[in-house]
Amino acid sequence: MAEQRTGSPEETEAVAARLAEELQPGDVVTVAGELGSGKTTFVRGACRLLGVTGPVTSPTFTIGHRYEGKVPVSHLDLYRFAGVSHAEWGDLEPYFDDAVTFVEWPEAGAGVLPAPRFRVHMRHSGGDRRAIRIECADTRV
Ligand code: ADP
Ligand code: MG
């Protein structure tokens, strides 16, 4: 998919909401990009479409959040992980169970996390502008 440009957090949330319309439990969406590029903002927009009404914030001091929307939604942040060990995977695995799962800083989970259905890449593009690239890894027919 071509890169999309946004000029405000609200526009980024709207891009995320359009993607969220496609999602169902079991789907994993990785959200990569540097600090402040809008990963959590993107996840928040997707969560709103999925019916999550409470706060959606970066799970920085815990591995993840689990929200109850129209479907269960998990929100992981692997920022502090250098890699994911077998033991750590045991803690992470339940988040993926029967939920739509968003993973910020997914790099540490490479090779361990379930294959994502979509990969989102966010970049600063000057001021409040952001560039968002969404790769579809859907192999389902
Ligand atoms: P990350 O999770 O990548 O660290 P956050 O979503 O927590 O990023 O923070 C992004 C910050 O940038 C927020 O303060 C948000 O309001 C601001 N911002 C400004 N413009 C945009 C935009 N176009 N898209 C997303 N966030 C934006
Ligand atoms: Mg974040």
Please say if the pLDDT value at position 66 is more than 60: yes
Number of Cβ within 10 Å of residue 48's Cβ equals 17
Cβ–ligand 1 distance for 35 under 6 Å, the answer: yes
pLDDT tens digits along 9-61? 999 999 999 999 999 999 999 999 999 999 999 999 999 999 999 999 988 77
- Give the pLDDT band of residue 86 (cuts 50, 70, 90): confident
Residues at Cβ < 5 Å from ligand 2 ion: 39-40, 58, 104
Q: Which of 137, 9, 25, 140 is closest to 73 using CA atoms?
A: 25
Cβ–ligand 1 distance for 57 under 6 Å, the answer: no
Ligand nearest to the CA of 41: 1
**E-strand spans in the chain?**
4-6, 28-32, 64-68, 72-77, 100-104, 118-124, 130-136
Which residue has its alpha carbon closest to ligand 1 atom 27?
9
Q: What is the pLDDT averaged over residues 96-101?
A: 97
Please say if the pLDDT value at position 65 is more than 50: yes
Please say if the pLDDT value at position 141 is more than 50: no
